[in-house]
């Protein structure tokens, strides 16, 4: 069976964990590209750091010694779609983390119009709706090469393959909005012409008179008048109950 290999971390955490500028930048990246957490940012930044380090080492060598290494490094980056065919080592040093994020499967599914948002794109990939060529891709962080980019489609059994699916971006543009999850938002009132219930209080019936809003403004005064009437009624009842002899004594 052989000795199992030691699984090592594929990323390095920042040296200064509480650097304000870096934290703000990472939070913007996580929100823009729909990442799950900061670990995805650290993995790509470590990969970028390694490519830059290799480029610096090659630049420190002489021209004859660095030809082979330069061709291998640039060839790998070209296959990944990160640099052009006419790129040099200086272009490798100018790479940013956004270049790697643009090649992620999650980003390309969203940009090709197969999903409405980056978060929706991630959900579709994890649930097995995306096909690259003849294989199902379930890793949102997979870096797609330029040759594979044109092979991105839905799986044959996916419900998103239907042209009239509500969640497709084309239907959203046409006006067929996808179903929105409104948890806790109750629908009230009778259904309208479209068969859907209206929100808010139900409309008044035809035989019911409309409520007078002016009464609400005079409510405090009415309460005081009612209390005065109640006091007078109680006093009148007490006079009837008390006998005449007690009245004379009093």
Tokens coding 87: 């790129």
Domain boundary among 97, 116, 148: 97
Domain boundary among 148, 174, 200: 174
Q: Does 124 score more than 90 pLDDT?
A: yes
Does residue 136 sit within a domain? yes
The set of residues, in sequence order, having a beta carbon less than 8 Å from that of 241 and lying 6+ positions away, is: none
Q: What is the DSSP letter of 137?
A: -
Report the distance separating Cα 140 and Cα 123, nearest Å: 9
H/E stretch holding 163: none
pLDDT tens across 9-66, in order?
889 999 998 999 999 999 999 999 999 999 999 999 999 999 999 999 999 999 888 9
pLDDT tens across 131-188, in order?
999 999 999 999 999 999 999 999 999 988 877 776 777 665 455 454 554 544 455 5
pLDDT at 152: 93
Residue 206 CB burial class (10 angstroms; 0-12, 13-18, ≥19): exposed
| Residues 110, 163 within the same domain | yes
The set of residues, in sequence order, having a beta carbon less than 8 Å from that of 82 and lying 6+ positions away, is: 95, 99, 100, 103
Domain boundary among 118, 147, 174: 174
Counting the structural domains of the chain, the total is 2
| Residues 114, 151 within the same domain | yes
Express as a percent the part of the chain with pLDDT over 70: 69
Give the domain extent around 157.
105-174
Does residue 49 sit within a domain? yes
| Residues 75, 125 within the same domain | no
| Residues 93, 24 within the same domain | yes
pLDDT at 24: 94
| Residues 76, 131 within the same domain | no
**Mean pLDDT across the chain, nearest whole number?**
81
| Residues 28, 83 within the same domain | yes
Does residue 132 sit within a domain? yes
Tokens coding 98: 């956004």
Does residue 6 sit within a domain? no
Rounded to 10°, the helix 63-80/38-60 angle is 150
Q: Collapsing DSSP states into helix, strand and coil, what is residue 79?
A: helix
| Residues 91, 30 within the same domain | yes
Among candidates 90, 92, 69, which has minimal Cα distance to 80? 92
What CATH number has the domain bearing residue 161?
3.10.290.10
Does residue 245 sit within a domain? no
Does residue 200 sit within a domain? no
Report the distance separating Cα 81 and Cα 137, nearest Å: 18
| Residues 64, 130 within the same domain | no
> What pTM does this model have?
0.65
């Amino acid at each position: 069976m052989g000795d199992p290999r030691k699984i090592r971390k594929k990323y390095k955490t920042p040296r200064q964990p509480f650097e304000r500028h870096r934290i703000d930048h990472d939070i913007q990246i996580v929100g823009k590209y729909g990442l799950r957490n900061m670990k995805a940012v650290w993995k790509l930044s470590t990969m970028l750091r390694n490519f830059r380090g290799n480029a610096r080492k090659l630049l420190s060598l002489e021209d004859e010694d660095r030809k082979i290494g330069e061709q291998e490094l640039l060839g790998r980056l070209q296959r990944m779609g990160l640099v052009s065919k006419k790129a040099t080592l200086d272009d490798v040093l100018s790479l940013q983390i956004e270049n790697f994020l643009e090649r992620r499967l999650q980003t390309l599914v969203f940009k090709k119009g197969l999903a409405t948002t980056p978060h929706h794109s991630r959900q579709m990939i994890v649930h097995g709706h995306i096909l690259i060529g003849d294989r199902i891709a379930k890793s949102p962080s997979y870096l797609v090469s330029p040759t594979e980019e044109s092979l991105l489609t839905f799986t044959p059994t996916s419900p998103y393959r239907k042209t009239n699916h509500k969640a497709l971006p084309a239907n959203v543009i046409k006006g067929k909005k996808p179903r929105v999850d409104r948890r806790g938002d109750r629908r009230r009132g009778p259904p309208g012409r479209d068969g859907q219930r209206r929100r808010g209080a139900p409309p008044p019936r035809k035989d019911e008179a409309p409520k007078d809003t002016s009464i609400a403004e005079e409510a405090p005064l009415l309460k005081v008048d009612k209390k005065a009437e109640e006091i007078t009624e109680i006093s009148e009842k007490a006079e009837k109950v008390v006998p005449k002899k007690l009245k004379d004594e009093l």
